[in-house]
Amino acid sequence: MTGFQLQPEFQAGEDFAITMDECDLLQEFRQRFLFPKIAGNDCVYLCGHSLGLQPKTAAAYVEEELEDWAQLGVEGHFRAKHPWMPYHRLLTEQTAELVGAKPVEVVVMNSLTVNLHLMMVSFYRPTPGRHKIVVERGAFPSDQYAVKSQIHFHGFDPETSLIELSPLPGESCLRDEQIETLIERSGDEIALILLGGVNYATGQAFDMAGITRAGHARGCVVGFDLAHAAGNLQLKLHEWGPDFAVWCSYKYLNAGPGCAAGCFVHDRHARAWDLPRFAGWWGHDEESRFEMGPNFRAMSGAEGWQLSNPSIISLAVLRASMDIFHEAGMERLRAKSISLTSYLEFLLNQNTSAHFSITTPRETERRGAQLSIRVPQNGRALCEGLTGEGILGDWREPDTFRVAPVPLYNSYRDAFRFVKRFTAAIR
């Protein structure tokens, strides 16, 4: 029972928002997070797509490790309450649950862009006949830099090896059939399809199952950047079958700036010892790691791509957040998210104006929690003005104001207050 299945007709008044909050079965989770304050008041925080809020329990999780370090020193690797040697495994079950994977398919390590490179080292294997990478035009810059540098690294030229999918003229988002047509037409030249699960600028969610199916049917490797999808959408990575996926944990996953990232490698590759990979000792067979031998033998599964021993402090914060996710459950979170984002959209549509438009798809299955609002004139100043009042979204050049009502900690009143101030400022 999600509590959101029977969707009432939305109403424009604040009373409706208050009633919805009162009926929200997830409302108590809001109390578990620390909201930034302006003039002593909680912000309306709609920036979870960029940096999620701090769980109140994070400090205690970190304190526990600091205390064990103080008391045990190096012995903490084996004798800490949660020994640091296998600490990353404390996150395996919950991470697998979060992204719909088998435990062997996931690991938390490094940062997103590092993991993306590690995955491309193994899964981008260009040949003269099949060397192209497909990305969204305007993919997140780090992804663009990463794919172009990989193309150069293999002696190819992005001019001829990079295919950037653009929306049709006059449209903001890609159509599914554009992606299918490209794969159908050019599939045998494509080495790798690398798309965001949710596009960072428009908030468009892609049909990851369909793209994977189409790509594999034409012999392409398929990978996803899930920076804006992890903790936002209900993912079924094992079932959908992409070869790999990477994501960060500081957005919807609330694990703090620069926290360790996630990586998925489908279990069909779990024992693919012949795949080239960049190796480090933490990916080496655990049983013999401390024999300090010269030859690398990878662990099976995603763990075999680890390089270094991870930052325990960083993983401690992620544990605090993942425990909350586990308790709330992605199914309930997604149900509330659909309702809350639709409500935000409804309120914005009550205030139509030539000065703004929503570029995120209208269909709930083609988006997550984020709405991107195009503000062609003076949008940056408007965004900064709202920030000064404690209404936090963020601005992306050239014309996009992004807001995300996050189901874990945002309320219907947050959406109401945002729209009230946003539309007043627009006027």
Binding site for ligand PLP (CB under 6 A): 111-113, 140, 142-143, 196, 200, 225, 227-228, 248, 261
The minimum distance between CB 249 and ligand PLP, in angstroms, equals: 9
* Residue closer to ligand PLP, measured from CB, 113 or 410: 113
The minimum distance between CB 324 and ligand PLP, in angstroms, equals: 21
The minimum distance between CB 113 and ligand PLP, in angstroms, equals: 3
CB-closest chain residue to ligand PLP:
113
Taking CA atoms, 272 is separated from 110, 222, 305, 306, in Å, by 22, 16, 12, 15
* Residue closer to ligand PLP, measured from CB, 76 or 361: 361
The minimum distance between CB 143 and ligand PLP, in angstroms, equals: 5
The minimum distance between CB 196 and ligand PLP, in angstroms, equals: 5
* Residue closer to ligand PLP, measured from CB, 24 or 225: 225
DSSP 256-321: -TTPPEEEEE-GGGTT-TTS-----GGGB-GGGGGGT-SS--BPSSGGGG--S---HHHHHHHHHH
The minimum distance between CB 202 and ligand PLP, in angstroms, equals: 12
In degrees and rounded to multiples of 5, residue 189 shows phi and psi of: -100, -10
* Residue closer to ligand PLP, measured from CB, 111 or 357: 111
CA–CA separation, 264 and 95 (whole Å): 10
The minimum distance between CB 345 and ligand PLP, in angstroms, equals: 22
* Residue closer to ligand PLP, measured from CB, 219 or 258: 258
The minimum distance between CB 111 and ligand PLP, in angstroms, equals: 4
* Residue closer to ligand PLP, measured from CB, 24 or 136: 136
The minimum distance between CB 212 and ligand PLP, in angstroms, equals: 18
DSSP 316-347: HHHHHHHHHHHHH-HHHHHHHHHHHHHHHHHH
CA–CA separation, 297 and 419 (whole Å): 56
CA–CA separation, 427 and 414 (whole Å): 20
* Residue closer to ligand PLP, measured from CB, 361 or 390: 361
CA–CA separation, 362 and 360 (whole Å): 6
First to last CA, the chain: 41
Q: Which amino acid, residue 169?
A: P
* Residue closer to ligand PLP, measured from CB, 235 or 261: 261
DSSP 44-104: EE-BTTTSPPEETTHHHHHHHHHHHHHHHGGGHHHHSSS-STTGGGGGHHHHHHHHT--GG
The minimum distance between CB 392 and ligand PLP, in angstroms, equals: 16
- Whether 186 and 162 have beta carbons less than 8 Å apart is answered as no
Count of C-beta atoms within a 10 Å radius of residue 192: 27
Q: Which residue is associated with the tokens 């031998």?
A: 293
Question: 254 is written with which tokens?
Answer: 């609330």
CA 319 vs. chain centroid, Å, equals 17
- Helix (H, G, I), strand (E, B), or coil: what is residue 107? strand
The minimum distance between CB 72 and ligand PLP, in angstroms, equals: 31
* Residue closer to ligand PLP, measured from CB, 94 or 370: 370
CA–CA separation, 426 and 392 (whole Å): 16
Q: Which amino acid, residue 235?
A: L
Bond prior to 398 in cis (omega within 30° of 0): yes
* Residue closer to ligand PLP, measured from CB, 17 or 139: 139
* Residue closer to ligand PLP, measured from CB, 150 or 411: 150
